[in-house]
Amino acid sequence: MAMSAQAAQGRSHDRRMPLARPKRIAVLGSTGSIGCSTLDLVARNAERFEIAALTAHRNVKLLIEQALRFRPAFAVIADESHYAELKSALAGSGVEVAAGMDAVADAARRPSDWVMAAIVGAAGLEPTLAAIERGAVVGLANKETLVCAGDLVMAAIARHGATLLPVDSEHSAIFQVFDMERAPAVARIVLTASGGPFRTIEPSQLHSVTPAQAVAHPNWTMGAKISVDSATMMNKGLEVIEASYLFPVEKERIEVVIHPQSVIHSMVEYVDGSVLAQLGTPDMRTPIAVALAWPERMAAPSKRLDFATLGALTFEAPDFGRFPALRVAREALQSGANAPTILNAANEVAVGAFLEGHIRFLDIVRVVEETLGSMARAPLLSLSDVRAADAAARENARRRLAALPRPA
3-state secondary structure of 346: helix
Tell me: does residue 343 bind ligand NAP (CB under 6 A): no
- Among 89, 99, 120, 268, which residue sits at the site for ligand NAP (rule: CB under 6 A)? 120
- Among 31, 194, 244, 338, which residue sits at the site for ligand NAP (rule: CB under 6 A)? 31
- The residues near 260 (Cβ < 8 Å, ≥ 6 apart) are 194, 195, 199, 218, 314
Stretch that binds ligand NAP, among 142-150, 153-161, 206-214, 296-304 (CB under 6 A): 142-150
- Among 73, 89, 103, 222, which residue sits at the site for ligand NAP (rule: CB under 6 A)? 222
Q: CB of 75 within 8 A of CB of 90?
A: yes
Footprint (CB under 6 A) of ligand NAP, residues 269-328:
284
Q: How far is the CB of 243 from ligand NAP (least distance, A)?
A: 13
The neighbouring-strand residues paired with 114 are 25
Q: CB of 126 within 8 A of CB of 117?
A: no
Stretch that binds ligand NAP, among 28-36, 243-251, 344-352, 396-404 (CB under 6 A): 28-36
Q: Which among 237, 247, 294, 238 is positioned nearest to 267, based on CA atoms?
A: 247
Measured between alpha carbons, how far is 78 from 146 in angstroms, rounded to an integer? 21
Measured between alpha carbons, how far is 178 from 186 in angstroms, rounded to an integer? 8
- Among 39, 78, 157, 240, which residue sits at the site for ligand NAP (rule: CB under 6 A)? 78
Comparison of 212 and 308: residue with beta carbon closer to ligand NAP: 212
Backbone angles phi, psi at 192, to 5 degrees: -90, 150
Q: Which among 407, 282, 300, 288 is positioned nearest to 356, based on CA atoms?
A: 407
- Among 25, 42, 53, 56, which residue sits at the site for ligand NAP (rule: CB under 6 A)? 56
Stretch that binds ligand NAP, among 88-96, 221-229, 257-265, 298-306 (CB under 6 A): 221-229
- Among 1, 5, 26, 35, which residue sits at the site for ligand NAP (rule: CB under 6 A)? 35
Q: CB of 332 within 8 A of CB of 340?
A: yes
Which is it for strands 49-56 and 74-77: parallel, antiparallel or unpaired? parallel
Strands (E), 78-117: 96-99, 114-117
Measured between alpha carbons, how far is 258 from 238 in angstroms, rounded to an integer? 15
Stretch that binds ligand NAP, among 1-9, 139-147, 172-180, 376-384 (CB under 6 A): 139-147
Chain position whose Cβ is nearest to ligand NAP: 32
- Among 1, 108, 123, 157, which residue sits at the site for ligand NAP (rule: CB under 6 A)? 123
Stretch that binds ligand NAP, among 138-146, 193-201, 334-342, 371-379 (CB under 6 A): 138-146
339 to each of 129, 141, 154, 325, 374, how far by Cα in Å?
20, 21, 17, 14, 11
Tell me: does residue 141 bind ligand NAP (CB under 6 A): yes
Q: How far is the CB of 158 from ligand NAP (least distance, A)?
A: 23
Comparison of 142 and 286: residue with beta carbon closer to ligand NAP: 142
Q: How far is the CB of 335 from ligand NAP (least distance, A)?
A: 22
- Size of interface with ligand NAP, in residues (CB under 6 A): 28
C-alpha dihedral sign at 295, 242, 324, 404: positive
Here's the x/- map for ligand NAP, 226-255, by CB under 6 A: it reads as x-----------------------------
Residues within the interface to ligand NAP (CB under 6 A) = 29-35, 56-59, 78, 104, 118-120, 123, 141-144, 168, 220, 222-223, 225-226, 284
